[in-house]
Structure 1
Amino acid sequence: MYSLEELVNRLGGELVGDGKVVVRRVATLDQAGEGDLSFLANPRYVSKLKSSQAAAVIVGPGARDLLTDRPRIVAPDPYLHFARVAQFFNPPEPAVPGIHPTAAVSVAIPASVSVAAGVVIEAGARIGEDVVIGAGSYIGRNCAVGRGTRISPRVSIYADCVIGQDCLIHSGAVIGSDGFGFAREKSGAWVKIPQVGRVVIGDEVEIGANTTIDRGALDDTWIGKGVKIDNQIQIGHNVRIGDYTAIAGCVGIAGSTVIGARCMVGGQAGIIGHLHIADDVVISAGTLVTKSINKAGVYTANLPVQGHADWVKNFAHLRHLDALVDRIRALEQRLEEKSSN
């Protein structure tokens, strides 16, 4: 537990009210109770702020004086400040250095590394200080894992891949599996193209559960610094993702696509191969990207949900859209002819 005064001294912000108030955790406005610290990130929820049982709140400058009797921390970005406080209250579970007797480790590793039961680390791998490797994970030959990276149970990292410092890789992730590369014979049979590139992952990257990142065919697949990748995402071979881009769940990115820095890709979006996405692009959930995007902005290409009967009726009109366009053009031509006579 910490007093508001201690939190402000450690994490910044402006303290308004009684700094001696002690909080023990962070919670939403709805769920907060005695000893909880909550936050108001959206002015629409001011009514919830007034009825909340939170002991104190984090607010923006515009909401500084909305409450007169409750202690608060004023921060330029309340949600960002909440994230920092939440990290402070919930640090990663400390790891116990050492190698479990059932692990198979073929290289020398620093004494600060924690290797759990059933881990396999192949010859030539390089493991940095303070790395944590969860039970049943596999680190292939000649891989490099940077200082402070945490690998959850049952992660597979194929040979030659590079993981940066302070990364977090969740269970079931597969990094460096073969990209989908084949040539076709006249008979229809497929000839596999060896995938000889690597996956290179920058510092402070988070990779969600059951996400797959394919190794490059010839060049490397590259994930920039601070990229955040959600669960169940497929990233094809030779994809390059710029620094601080965030990608939500179930996105598919086909091979050789280049995504810029600070982009956001919504859940279930799809990006076909060999495209270029500029910096600072936002792709809405469910959008299928079929051509390059060369300018920052928000892009959407999907239909909002509607009743089934309405969808059937509207789709029936779409089926006849070409004919309707032809009729309109014919009418426009007739009008032009009449106006010219």
Structure 2
Amino acid sequence: MLRLDELVARLGGDLLGDPAVIVRRVATLDQAGEGDLAFLANRKYASRLGDCQASAVIVAPDARELTTLPRIVTADPYVYFARVAQLFSPPDNPPAGLHQTAVVDVSVPASVSIGPGSTIEAGARIGENVVIGPGCHVGRDVVIGDGSRLHAAVTIYHGCVIGRDCVLHAGAVIGADGFGFARERDGSWVKIPQTGRVVIGDDVEVGANTTIDRGALDDTVIGNGVKLDNQIQIAHNVRIGDKTAVAGCVGIAGSTTIGARCMIGGQAGIIGHLVIADDVVVSAGTLVTKSIRRAGVYTGNLPVQSHLDWVKNFAHLRHLDDMAARIRALEQRLDKIDPA
């Protein structure tokens, strides 16, 4: 627990009200009670401040007069809430040391924790304060930077590089072969060896069961500060710029380059060999089929509708070419009419 003035001393902001108020956790406006610190991140929920039972709240400057509760005023209440939540919920790191069932073929720093059943192959380099959870596999010549954490059952294939302070959640697979095959004339497939690596920068988070394929020749590269949600597929030779965030179930095909500070919505699909500029937002469910060269928000999906309405609308879509041809014919006939 912390006093409000202690929070402000650590994180900044302007404090209005009793500085000695004690808070023990963060909570929503609706669920907060005594000892809780709530936050108002969106003005459309301002009416809930009146009934809020929190001991204090975090608000933006334009909401500072909407409540008489003790409050911390900051430019971005949601980011401030996130930083307070980090203080109240620090990572639960296991003690350093190697479990007796781990198989480790390299020397590791004394600060490293390696869980039961994990394996680390020869040539791997493990940094200080790394945590490798149970059932993980770290292949030969892998590099893992200081302070990174692998949760249970993470697999890192040979030669891949993980930066500092990264978090890889359960079941993530880094460096599996990309989908590279050449087709014979008879329809059979010839595998193309995938000889590149996956190189992940610092402060990257990779969600559960997300897969990042190794490059075919060059590397697949994930920039610093990138945040990847669960169940994402990133194909070979993709490059993702710094601080980009990708939501769950997105598929990114091979050799696509995504810029910095982009946001990719859930279930979006991006076909291969495209370039997406910095600061692009791709809405959920959008299929990106051509390069995006300018920053902005891009959407390509249809709103949900009843099945009967969808059938009727699709029936019209099937005849769009015919309708366009008929309109062109009518326009040509009108052009021939003498206005006199």
TM-score, normalised on structure 1? 0.98
With over 3 angstroms needed to count, the CA separation of the structure-2 counterparts of 1:264 and 1:339, relative to structure 1, is farther
> After the TM superposition, which residues 170-181 of structure 1 pair with which residues of structure 2 at under 5 Å, given as runs?
170-181=169-180
Q: Which moved more, 1:196-205 or 1:93-102?
A: 93-102
Structure 1 CA distance, aligned partners of 2:13 and 2:137? 43
What amino acid sits opposite 2:262 in the alignment? C
Query: In structure 2, what is the equivalent of residue 246 of structure 1?
Result: 245
1:10-50 deviation per Cα after TM superposition (whole angstroms, max 9, x unaligned): 11110001111111000111111111101001110011121
With over 3 angstroms needed to count, the CA separation of the structure-2 counterparts of 1:31 and 1:333, relative to structure 1, is same
Query: In structure 1, what is the equivalent of residue 146 of structure 2?
Result: 147
Give the secondary-structure state (helix, strand or coil) at the position aligned to 1:175.
strand
The alpha-carbon deviation at position 340 of structure 1 amounts to 4.0
Query: In structure 2, what is the equivalent of residue 59 of structure 1?
Result: 59
Query: In structure 1, what is the equivalent of residue 215 of structure 2?
Result: 216
User: Is the CA contact (8 Å cut-off) linking 2:108 and 2:125 kept in structure 1?
Assistant: yes
Query: In structure 1, what is the equivalent of residue 121 of structure 2?
Result: 122
The alpha-carbon deviation at position 300 of structure 1 amounts to 0.5
Query: In structure 2, what is the equivalent of residue 8 of structure 1?
Result: 8
The alpha-carbon deviation at position 335 of structure 1 amounts to 2.4
With over 3 angstroms needed to count, the CA separation of the structure-2 counterparts of 1:321 and 1:140, relative to structure 1, is same
Q: Which moved more, 1:47-56 or 1:163-172?
A: 47-56
Structure 2 CA distance, aligned partners of 1:167 and 1:9? 28
Give the secondary-structure state (helix, strand or coil) at the position aligned to 1:231.
coil
Structure 2 CA distance, aligned partners of 1:63 and 1:332? 57
User: Is the CA contact (8 Å cut-off) linking 2:49 and 2:66 kept in structure 1?
Assistant: no
Query: In structure 1, what is the equivalent of residue 106 of structure 2?
Result: 107
Give the secondary-structure state (helix, strand or coil) at the position aligned to 2:29.
coil
Q: Which moved more, 1:327-336 or 1:112-121?
A: 327-336
What amino acid sits opposite 2:66 in the alignment? L
Query: In structure 2, what is the equivalent of residue 88 of structure 1?
Result: 87
1:47-105 deviation per Cα after TM superposition (whole angstroms, max 9, x unaligned): 112111111100000001111x3100000011111111111111101320000000000
Give 5+ residue unaligned stretches, structure 2: none
Say what the alpha-carbon RMSD is for the aligned residues: 0.8
Q: Which moved more, 1:26-35 or 1:192-201?
A: 26-35
Q: Which moved more, 1:242-251 or 1:309-318?
A: 309-318
Structure 2 CA distance, aligned partners of 1:340 and 1:296? 47
User: Is the CA contact (8 Å cut-off) linking 2:98 and 2:115 kept in structure 1?
Assistant: yes
The alpha-carbon deviation at position 333 of structure 1 amounts to 2.1
Give 5+ residue unaligned stretches, structure 1: none
Query: In structure 1, what is the equivalent of residue 30 of structure 2?
Result: 30
Query: In structure 2, what is the equivalent of residue 326 of structure 1?
Result: 325
Structure 2 CA distance, aligned partners of 1:112 and 1:179? 34
Query: In structure 1, what is the equivalent of residue 75 of structure 2?
Result: 76
With over 3 angstroms needed to count, the CA separation of the structure-2 counterparts of 1:84 and 1:339, relative to structure 1, is farther
Q: What percent of counterpart residues are identical? A: 71
What amino acid sits opposite 1:28 in the alignment? T
Query: In structure 2, what is the equivalent of residue 289 of structure 1?
Result: 288
Query: In structure 2, what is the equivalent of residue 255 of structure 1?
Result: 254
The alpha-carbon deviation at position 230 of structure 1 amounts to 0.2
The alpha-carbon deviation at position 331 of structure 1 amounts to 2.0
User: Is the CA contact (8 Å cut-off) linking 2:286 and 2:301 kept in structure 1?
Assistant: yes
Structure 1 CA distance, aligned partners of 2:103 and 2:273? 40
Corresponding residue pairs, total: 340
What amino acid sits opposite 1:5 in the alignment? D
The alpha-carbon deviation at position 194 of structure 1 amounts to 0.2
User: Is the CA contact (8 Å cut-off) linking 2:268 and 2:285 kept in structure 1?
Assistant: yes
Structure 2 CA distance, aligned partners of 1:157 and 1:289? 29
Query: In structure 2, what is the equivalent of residue 272 of structure 1?
Result: 271
Structure 2 CA distance, aligned partners of 1:191 and 1:94? 45
Structure 1 CA distance, aligned partners of 2:56 and 2:40? 11
Give the secondary-structure state (helix, strand or coil) at the position aligned to 2:47.
helix
Query: In structure 1, what is the equivalent of residue 42 of structure 2?
Result: 42
